Amino acid sequence: MSVIEQTSTLSAEERRVSDLVDELLESFPPSDTDPRTFLGEQFDRGLAWVHFPEGDGGLGLNPKLQRTINERVFAAGGPNPTYRNPIGIGMCGPTVAAWGSEEQKQRYLRPLFTGEEIWCQLFSEPGAGSDFAGLASSGTRDGDEWVCNGQKVWTTLAHLSSFGLLIVRTDPSAVKHAGLTAFVVDMKDPSVEIRPLRQMTGEAEFNEVFFDDTRIHESEMLGSPGDGWRVSLTTLMNERVSIGGTIPQKGSGTISALVTAWQDADPALRTPARLDEVMQLWSRAEVSRLTNIRANQNRKMGDPGPEGSIGKMASADLNKDIYEAVMDVMGAEGLLYGSYEMIRPETAMGSDTPQKAFLRVRANSIEGGTSEVMRNILGERVLGLPGDVRVDREVPWSEVPRN
């Protein structure tokens, strides 16, 4: 099919997006343009999150068009905003777009997309991980401000962040899901303390964060008092799509590491049994990729549905199995880790060696919701199975026993 024939088969939406991408790449060639300038121009043309409303980095179009935009931009050498700001792009941006005031959207979305302001997500606590609704960090109204106290943990890239999406308990007399409220918090405020958490990779991309009488103006609330649980669901569903819903090219992504290791392996290690294992994992990776394509096509504009938990759960187990196989194929070389110096990484995306990736993917079945939580979500909300036993659903949070 000729280029002219292909163009004639495009829908009006697709032609509009294609023309805007052409204009962006012609006016601001990625090779000659500062990445932040390029991303700002991409945002202004509605090509940042194409399903967002116009003026908020989008065009109000079908979200599946974003994949086409990204493929063309990346093929031309354009910057990937997710590399620098993965939590902001994948989770906080969509939440601000869904729940923020017009002032908040105008203030935060563009510099978030360009990477000028990094974001983090302040949800988990030492006593509230899988049972996120049981969190104890508090917010107390004081005039037109809220005074927040408490501790958050496993906060990715908090050490680089300008702003964070914070959930605190503002009504302890309500049931645990109903007494939560969401805020945008300034991570540079002197009352916010950030401490590194060193991982077994040697890095410290995670942090624990302490709030000591941190004052947040009511204008920085997302939604209304008590909307925190619904706001957090928007974030969590986007997080699961972000973690497990990526759609790499066929044969790329984590499975490419195994294929490369197999090609480079000592012939003595390339046994028929190990080849069979490699092919099984390649097939699982391709099934996962095709499933994510189908789920992405079925996504509605706005909040993702529970289907994002499928890709997240499947990818967690798959990634661990792939990198275990990589270590097997590498043989004794897989034991050579290199430097174990603690560093504060600039991104949470990717690992520079297979050995580091093998250690890092251990977290995939925990971060973004444990695989056990994913199974409950899929059983109850997708398959319609009876809900898990919950004895504290109707009990005020202040009366729920805690350690």
Tens of pLDDT, residue by residue over 314-346, are 889 999 999 999 999 999 998 888 777 888 877
Band of residue 300 on the pLDDT scale cut at 50, 70, 90: low
Domain with CATH 1.10.540.10 in the chain: 12-114
CATH number for the region 232-382 comes to 1.20.140.10
Band of residue 241 on the pLDDT scale cut at 50, 70, 90: low
Domain with CATH 2.40.110.10 in the chain: 119-226
Mean pLDDT for all residues in the chain: 88
Q: Residue 230 corresponds to which tokens in the numbers above?
A: 């619904």
Q: Which of 208, 239, 277, 307 is catalytic?
A: 239
pLDDT of residue 305: 61
| Res 304 pLDDT > 80 | no
pLDDT of residue 6: 46
| Res 28 pLDDT > 90 | yes
Band of residue 245 on the pLDDT scale cut at 50, 70, 90: very low
Domain with CATH 1.20.140.10 in the chain: 232-382
| Res 244 pLDDT > 50 | no
Q: Which fold has domain 12-114?
A: Butyryl-Coa Dehydrogenase, subunit A; domain 1 (1.10.540)
Band of residue 119 on the pLDDT scale cut at 50, 70, 90: very high
Angle at 290 between CA 285 and CA 292, to 5 degrees: 95
| Res 299 pLDDT > 60 | no
Q: Residue 344 in contact with residue 204, Cβ under 8 Å?
A: yes
Q: Residue 45 in contact with residue 56, Cβ under 8 Å?
A: no
% of the chain at pLDDT higher than 70: 91
Q: How many CA atoms lie within 13 A of 73 on its CB side?
A: 26
Which long-range contacts does 98-101 make (Cβ < 8 Å, 24+ apart)? 98/234, 98/302, 98/303, 99/182, 99/222, 99/223, 99/227, 99/231, 99/234, 100/184, 100/222, 101/219
% of the chain at pLDDT higher than 90: 62
Q: Residue 298 in contact with residue 245, Cβ under 8 Å?
A: no
| Res 252 pLDDT > 80 | no
pLDDT of residue 47: 97
Band of residue 374 on the pLDDT scale cut at 50, 70, 90: confident
pLDDT of residue 67: 85
Q: Which residue has the tokens 């529970």?
A: 306
Q: Is 14 a catalytic residue?
A: no
Does residue 237 or residue 148 have the better pLDDT? 148
Q: Residue 260 corresponds to which tokens in the numbers above?
A: 């490369």
| Res 243 pLDDT > 70 | no
CATH number for the region 119-226 comes to 2.40.110.10
Alpha carbon distance 141, 152 (integer Å): 20
